[in-house]
Each structure stands twice: as C-alpha cells, then as structure tokens.
Amino acid sequence: MALVIVTSSAPGEGKTGVAAAIARHYAYQGKATQLVRLSGSDDESAAEDAAFFGSLAFVPGSPSAVSGASDVRDPGGDAVTVVEANLQTAAALSGAVVLVARGAVPSAIPAGIAAKVVVVTGVPASEAGAATSMNGVPVIILAEDRSLAGFSVDEACKAIDAEVLVQGDGNRATCDYLVVAPIGADAGQPYFKRFQTKAVVVRFDKTDQHLAAVRAAPECLILTGGKRPSGYVFDAAAANGIPVLLSRTDTENTVAALEGIFDHTRFQGERKLDRMALLVEASPLFGALGI
C-alpha cells in the first residue's frame, strides 16, 4: 500500500483540499484510492471533511464518517490511501507525510514529523514559484486563489443568522464575490453580470433590484432589513433554483458581518476541488512523493 498522510500544525491551513487533490490524481491514474479523515481535536470540522470525502465518486468506499488511526487498512497491491490527520496522529503513522502550511514557509518542521514534502498554500501569486527546500525536504508553493476562498450558502446563512426564504436547488457553486446592489435598477443587471459565482446583497423592498439580480444568475440572493419581500421574488428565485436568505439587520451591518467570511471557509464542492487539483497537478508535488 502507498499511504499518504496529509497534516498541518493548525486547522485552516489547506490540508483537506490538498488531500482531496492528491487522492483524485492517483484515482485518475487508475489506482484504487481511498480518502480518509482521521479524528482529532477539531472533530466538528473533521465530520464535515469526512462527509465530503465520502461523497466523491472517484474514491468509492471512502468512509463518510470520521475514522480512527486503527481503521487505516492496507488495501494491498498498488492501491493508495490518502489520510488527513492532525500532527499527533500523523506522527504515529507510517507513510509519505505531506506537511501543509498556509501563507508562508514554516520556520521548522514540527518535531516527530518526518515530512517527505511541504506544501504551502495561499501564497500571493507574486511570491509563488518553483519548489524550494528546507533541510533537504522539498517545499512546494501554491498561489492563493479566489475560488478556494469562496463561501457556501450555508456559511453565509450562519454568518448573518439568516432566515432561509427560498431553499434553491441545493447544488449551487460557492460564491467568489459578495456584491452589493447599486442604487439604480437600470444599472443592476449589467453590473451583476460583471461578477461570476456571486452572492448579491440588496434591501428587502427593492423588488426591481431583486429581479435584476435573479436574471444575472447569482449563487445566492441575500435580502436585508428583516422584512419579507414581494411574492414576485419568491417565484423568480424558486423558478431559477436560487437560494434566498433574509438578514435581520440592514445592508451595512449585513455586509460588515460577511466581510471576514472569506478567511474561514470550508473546503467543499467540486468547483473548489477542480481548482485545487489544477494547482497541485501543475506543481512538482507528485514527483516529490514518488508514488
């Protein structure tokens, strides 16, 4: 068995995305591949990661619940198992360790971790480049990417404690842009169409802006002011599968509550995975792993 262990010093460093991209690479090579999320101190996040892993078609049979280290089995042959684990668990496993850090190359590799490669995510594009090394361990730098920071409708709903007015189709992409509606309705639709994969924020009583936003196909419509909009909005949004959230506060406070959402998003959805896979495939990571 080839066992790849993806770990990091802290949550939010990017190990879920890196693990999923590694697993997809080997699965697409025709290897029998499993993707496993091991338990740790961040069990709530771990459960979400495991559910995501279990939903991926290219790793059939991967557990959709958090696993323990003792659950990692040798599948035999040239199969590959990719596990996401915290540092303590990673130190107890035997395999090719990928240490993930965010924003900058770590000052040192944590004690007890025999890293085979270090992957640094979220680095400004001007600083990203070819692999370097630290104490003989290859360091691979991945540039920051707006798509990887996109937020889901659920994350927006939690951030502003919103009421869900229209559920939507349940399969929409994450939002890369938070767009506040302009004052005039005539300018609304052209303005909205400038942004891809967006959430539009507009006051509850601006029906003309609501309809202009719907025609521009946002991933989510966020109404502010705490009051229910016109029935036209319900019909238009439902017909197009667009989720509609109602914030209890005004536009200014709603936007303020959402401003930091890009810094704390979960890795989820095919769109983020596609983007991470492109970044990883273009890097020397798989040559460094040598599997």
Query: DSSP letters along 234-257, please?
Result: HHHHHHTT--EEE-SS-HHHHHHH
In the chain, where the domains are located: 2-147+266-289, 151-264
Q: How confident is the model at residue 189 (pLDDT cuts 50, 70, 90)?
A: confident
pLDDT above 70 coverage of the chain, percent: 94
Q: What tens digit of pLDDT does each residue of 223-240 get?
A: 999 999 999 999 999 999
pLDDT digits (tens, 9 = 90+) for 125-156: 777 665 688 889 999 999 889 899 999 999 99
Please compute the mean of the pLDDT values over residues 194-215 and round it to a whole number.
Answer: 93
Distance CA 66, CA 69 (A): 10
Flag whether pLDDT at 185 surpasses 60.
Answer: no
| Residue 7, pLDDT above cutoff 80 | yes
Q: How far apart are CA 68 and CA 56, in angstroms?
A: 20
The listed CATH number (3.30.450, 3.80.10, 3.40.50, 3.30.310) that belongs to domain 2-147+266-289: 3.40.50
Largest Cα–Cα distance in the chain?
64
Q: Which residues contact 221 (CB under 8 A, 6 or more apart)?
A: 166, 199, 200, 202, 210, 213, 214, 233, 237, 242, 243, 244, 245
CA dihedral 213, 217, 219, 221 (to 10 degrees): 20
Q: Please check the confidence at residue 170 and state whether its pLDDT lies above 70.
A: no
pLDDT tens per residue across span 62-105: 999 999 988 887 777 889 999 999 999 999 898 999 999 998 88
Query: How high is the pLDDT of residue 184?
Result: 61
Residue 285 has pLDDT above 90, yes or no: yes
Helices (H), 62-149: 87-92
User: How far apart are the C-alpha atoms of 28 and 24, rounded to whole Å?
Assistant: 6
Give the pLDDT score at 129.
Answer: 62
pTM of the model: 0.88
What are the residues whose beta carbons fall under 8 Å from the beta carbon of 206, sequence distance 6 or more? Answer: 181, 185
The span from the CA of 265 to the CA of 8, in Å, is: 17
* Band of residue 40 on the pLDDT scale cut at 50, 70, 90: confident
- Per-residue pLDDT band for 204 (boundaries 50, 70, 90) equals very high
Q: What is the pLDDT of residue 76?
A: 73
| pLDDT of amino acid 122 | 87
**Considering the domain 151-264 in this protein, what is its CATH number?**
3.40.1390.20
CA distance 5 to 90: 7
Mean of all residue pLDDT scores within the chain: 90
Q: Which residues of 5-43 are buried (b: 16+ CB within 10 A; e: fewer)?
A: bbbbbeebbbbbbbbbbbbbbbbeeebbbbbbbbbbeee
Question: Which pLDDT does position 4 carry in this prediction?
Answer: 95
pLDDT tops 70 at residue 186: no
